[in-house]
Amino acid sequence: MKLNPDQMSELIIAATEVRQWSYSPYSHYAVGAAVLTTSGKIYDGVNIENAAYPTSICAERVALYKAVSEGERGFEAIAIVTENAGSPCGSCRQVMAEFGLGTIVLLADLNGQIRLQTTVADLLPHAFTPQDLPHH
C-alpha cells in the first residue's frame, strides 16, 4: 500500500496529540504512536514507564496491542512521534514484524516533519516471523 499525504498527516497528528498522555517520569522521553489498520481504523498509544524499568512498554506496542485486542490483524502503517524522530526499539520491531513486514513506518518529530519513511522489513532485515515456525 502507498499512503497518501492526507493519511500520513492524519497518522502523524494522531501520534503527536496522544503523546501528551505519555507516562515517562524516568526517561522524560515522551513517545506517541498511531497505527492504521487494513480496516481503516486508527489506534494510538503512548510509552508507559515503570519504576521497575523492564516492565515499561513502548508506544508502538501499546498502539498495536490495542488494535489486536479489538480484533485487528492487518496493518498498513504506523507513525511514531518523538522530539527527535527516534527509531523503534528491537522489541517493537519484532512485534511489528509479527503483523507484516510491508507495514509502512513513519518517524516524525514534534513539528510533524517526517524524518524517515520506511517499512518494517527495512527496519528489521531477516526478521523471525510466523513463517519460520514449523507447522504441525
Predicted confidence (pLDDT) per residue in 13-41, tens digit: 999 999 999 999 999 999 999 999 999 99
Domains of the chain: 5-132 (3.40.140.10)
Options 60, 72, 76, 98, the catalytic residue: 60
Whole-number pLDDT of residue 2: 86
**What are the C-alpha distances in Å from 136 to residues 14, 22, 54, 133?**
41, 41, 33, 9
The predicted model gives 99-114 an average pLDDT of 97
pLDDT of 62 reads 98
pLDDT tens digits for range 63-96: 999 999 999 999 999 999 999 999 999 999 999 9
60 is catalytic: yes
Cα–Cα distance between 95 and 116 in angstroms, integer? 19
**Between residues 1 and 6, which one has the greater pLDDT?**
6
User: How far is the C-alpha of 40 from the C-alpha of 103, rounded, in Å?
Assistant: 14
pTM, 2 dp: 0.95
- List the grid coordinates of 52: 521497575
Tell whether the model's pLDDT for residue 135 goes beyond 90: no
What distance in Å separates the CA atoms of residue 78 and residue 33, rounded to the nearest whole number?
7
Mean pLDDT in the chain?
A: 96
pLDDT exceeds 90 at position 136:
no
How many Cβ atoms sit within 10 Å of the Cβ of residue 36?
A: 26
pLDDT reported for residue 14: 98
